[in-house]
Amino acid sequence: MPLTPTERDRLLLFTAAELARARHARGLRLNIPEATAIVADTVCEAARDGLRLAEAIDRGRAVLGPDDLLPGVSDVVTEIQVEAVFDDGTRLAAVTQPFGAEERNDAAPGAVLPGPDLPVAPEPVVTLAVRNTATVPVSVTSHFHFFEANPRLDFDRAAAYGMRLAAPAGASTRFDPGRTVDVGLAPIGGARVALGFAGLVDGPLDAPGAKEEALRRAAACGYLGAAEHHDTTEGAGA
């Protein structure tokens, strides 16, 4: 059965969560990967059940408590982020205090020492006006291929190809319903390969014809801001 990279990632998360649930059912206390998998999978399934973002986050937060975890896990894992498919599209769910709101003793043995500051945001090379036409807020994380962000976000998709938010790693930008936000974008670095996301590229960003094909897919799937550029490209090649 052929699967997209996103579908393979979802199955991997589900498998990890099922293994963690089996261990939990045997009375074992969970480590970081096990607890993270259960919370993330619970959020994804809540989205599949038709729940809204806030409801899915609440369900994920309620599935495990401190007594289900190995010592120190709740001190290390203070937020769990997962991309879940809701009725209105793929959205980021950030579950803060994922194991219930408890008072943590930061001076306790084994407490995590403060880490280094977040890396400095890259310099933006393009600024785009982005309007959220959906009826719910949409959040986009720092390293998401912005071209493939929620189809109800209206912006110049062609200009966003191969770009990500000019924001520190782990940060996100929220787009409220009906609002327009100016965002700075920077090129995706490294090997410049986009796998997963919305499945509009799934390969090297700079391969010959990759941008044109991604625009064609986006336009066919109804992504706002893509159709006009796709039509122009087709007309130029006629």
Phi, psi at 82, each rounded to 5°: -150, 140
Q: Say which range, 91-95, 130-134, 220-224, has the weakest mean pLDDT.
A: 91-95
Mean pLDDT of the chain: 86
Between the alpha carbon of residue 213 and those of residues 67, 90, 107, 178, 202, the distances in Å are 50, 21, 54, 29, 11
Alpha helices (runs of H) in 26-89, residue ranges in sequence order? 32-48, 53-62, 73-76
> Is the per-residue pLDDT at 103 higher than 60?
no
Supply the pLDDT for residue 79: 92
Which pLDDT does position 229 carry in this prediction? 61
39-72 pLDDT, tens digit per residue, is: 999 999 999 999 999 999 999 999 999 999 999 8
Predicted TM-score of the model (pTM): 0.52
Q: How far is CA 88 from the centre of its chain?
A: 14
Query: With bands split at pLDDT 50, 70 and 90, how would you rate the model's confidence at 119?
Result: low
Q: How far apart are CA 9 and CA 25, in angstroms?
A: 24
How far, in Å, CA of 163 to CA of 187, rounded? 4
What is the per-residue pLDDT across 148-183, written as a single tens digit (0 to 9) for each? 999 999 999 999 999 999 988 778 899 999 999 999
**pLDDT > 70 in the chain, percent:** 87
DSSP 148: G
Task: Say whether pLDDT at 132 is over 80.
Answer: yes
Does the structure show a pLDDT above 60 at 111?
A: no
DSSP E strand boundaries for 29-165:
79-86, 89-96, 126-132, 138-141, 153-154, 163-165
Task: Answer whether residue 12 shows pLDDT above 50.
Answer: yes
Give the pLDDT mean for 22-49: 94
